[in-house]
Structure 1
């Protein structure tokens, strides 16, 4: 039997992963929650039983990282922001020769991780990066379309809309500011490009989501898929990969963008009535307060969202064909937020590695090493998905659109 250590295991995403891993007794005999907040980790461990233990862990201290992961068969890293913690944690894991999974959604950290591919191969380990919802499940669905459904895959466009989680802390908003401050990777006309934020308005568009009413304005957003898809799906004739999204309520995201655009992400203090305040701290506090107010004005306050993946290409007969995948907050995903959507796929990725169903070595995104059928089968069993019961239905919806525009609903 095996031991898995979940770094940041007492956080929102980490806790969801730990809860699912605790049900996989036939794969993991021990699940370790490593977290800076030891008290919270111990509470979760006590609730889940003797197979789950807790240990103090500080991501800023390499010796603490080594102590936390020593003796592990797999490390699942949920510690963000990844632009700060991916490199030191992954390099330590490689040094100790331990298999690895994370939910890295930062572009800079993705480039850094991919640069460690050779070191991971030399160490004989599998480092599965970006194994959440998006990136993660989005990668698997896109690769399924490109490799199995289409003869040629010309474009993959990803669209996100989500929000109304019970709370949103400073770390989430701070990470959003970070992303809004960095260039956006896109793959256009068969070439990798970086779009400056000030140039991104030309790429905005209105998009419909299958489970959300109306249209939503989505904005280009830095994400790993436009970095990894061209590298690992290029043989299929890929010419375009984009990623765009918004946060709900829309007024809240528009306000966030406006405040960031005015320079309120600046951390240099200014004096206000005899007190030093940073624009950044003020902006975070104000946005948290204003978000609560905006949500209180809504009639439907339930967490909701959707990821839409549009894959266009051609059949073997040369006819145009489109496949659209939706990961919607419906069925078993109804009312679920970031934790389940991101933590569960990561936990399942770890299970697949331990079961020997992911054999490739190196630093790899999901589309490069995960068999989509293995993942979907495991997900169905682990989550108890049953399409005959409304509350247990799969959150995955698939549409096929032929050259004439005829839409057909598909079953996986």
Structure 2
């Protein structure tokens, strides 16, 4: 089994390393003094080679198909940490994690599917026996969202409800290429449509329940106000109750302009009725009108960034707590996902993430330290005394 010592230069393998998410992580790791080697592993070896040529001498390229179990095992044998950025996780999440456990290699990924999250949590005992620390869902949401939830929950003596939220926006839709009236559906759009249309599991009444996404509810952020939000199928609701077992309700929700959510809700009903598959539904969404701008309704008043809310008690009184990062990297989905993953990997390399077993981010990562580290990759890094996150609270009548 690979044994990693604190402050020892670390070797990291990044599967899907030349992809949109993995490339950002590779760039950061290749420039960090804690890292001795970054293996950019990708099914597209040429693309991996181009990235390596751009990021420096610490990086090496490896053409790797993670469905080849023998090749994957060989790649894992010579590294201390693997960052798994190669989806889809419903096919490869458990397989890569199992291989990492067999190799004694610590593991982090950006899985944002609830199904493989449950499958990978089943490997907790095997990871603990192997001395392997595995952190699943360490991107934006899940990832930073989970750690914001910890900051909010830590203000409560007991927690009844915890919500993680992110902004859904048609501004993130792909643009049509020249000569086309509509954009082609991307994997990211299909993934979102899948989460909104297929059965999901979430945490309600103190346990896992089956349901569908897009349930509308209202959410209040202290000092900001109340807005409608819509339930999404995501990993956060499945892992957060593991650190606060008293939680009765844990949901991941989307804030958005109403027009966008009405469009996806109408399309979801057609998927559930068997009229459309996910691919067709994604294309229909991209052709929908009034999903962006003023035509979609007013912009939500809730925070535009990822945030978390906890409701519970403190000192015998009911309390609501909100948490959000106020200094962090901004930009595209690759940056917002790959950079948090890299930050967590660097913390692992320093010995700051060392808890054998399979965990959501909240189970193994110190959120206060994480957000201090994450803020250093903002466009304008903070000064020493600048707050990098906020935690605000109010009493509930």
Shorter-chain TM-score: what band?
0.7 to 0.9
Q: For residue 66 of structure 1, what is the aligned residue in structure 2? A: 73
CA distance in 1, matches of 2:370, 2:160: 25
Does the 8 Å contact 1:266/1:280 carry over to 2?
no
Work out which of the residue numbers 347, 351, 360 in structure 2 matches 1:365.
360
Q: For residue 308 of structure 2, what is the aligned residue in structure 1? A: 309
Work out which of the residue numbers 109, 118, 127 in structure 1 matches 2:125.
118
Q: For residue 409 of structure 1, what is the aligned residue in structure 2? A: none
Give unpaired runs (5+ residues) of structure 2.
Answer: 1-8, 176-184, 297-302
Does the 8 Å contact 1:264/1:280 carry over to 2?
no
Work out which of the residue numbers 178, 181, 187 in structure 1 matches 2:194.
178
Q: For residue 155 of structure 1, what is the aligned residue in structure 2? A: 161
Does the 8 Å contact 2:193/2:282 carry over to 1?
no
With normalisation by structure 2, the TM-score equals 0.82
What secondary structure does 2:86 align onto?
A: coil
Q: CA deviation at 1:283?
A: 4.0
Q: CA deviation at 1:366?
A: 1.5
Does the 8 Å contact 1:101/1:127 carry over to 2?
yes
With normalisation by structure 1, the TM-score equals 0.79
Q: CA deviation at 1:310?
A: 1.0
CA distance in 1, matches of 2:105, 2:117: 19
Work out which of the residue numbers 199, 216, 220 in structure 2 matches 1:204.
216
CA distance in 1, matches of 2:194, 2:126: 28
Residue 36 (1) aligns with residue 75 (2): no
CA distance in 2, matches of 1:385, 1:51: 26
Q: CA deviation at 1:16?
A: 1.6
Does the 8 Å contact 2:81/2:105 carry over to 1?
yes
Q: For residue 107 of structure 1, what is the aligned residue in structure 2? A: 114
Give unpaired runs (5+ residues) of structure 1.
Answer: 268-277, 299-303, 405-412
Counterpart mapping for 1:108-147 below 5 A: 108-147=115-154
Does the 8 Å contact 1:333/1:394 carry over to 2?
no
CA distance in 2, matches of 1:254, 1:80: 29
Does the 8 Å contact 1:265/1:279 carry over to 2?
no
- How many positions carry a matched residue from both structures? 374
Q: For residue 343 of structure 1, what is the aligned residue in structure 2? A: 338
- Structure 1 vs Structure 2 CA RMSD: 3.4
Residue 54 (1) aligns with residue 61 (2): yes
CA distance in 1, matches of 2:200, 2:282: 23
What secondary structure does 2:141 align onto?
A: coil
CA distance in 1, matches of 2:305, 2:126: 36
CA distance in 2, matches of 1:166, 1:353: 34
Q: CA deviation at 1:19?
A: 1.9
Counterparts in 2 of 1:35 and 1:223: CA distance versus 1, 3 Å? same
Does the 8 Å contact 1:162/1:306 carry over to 2?
no
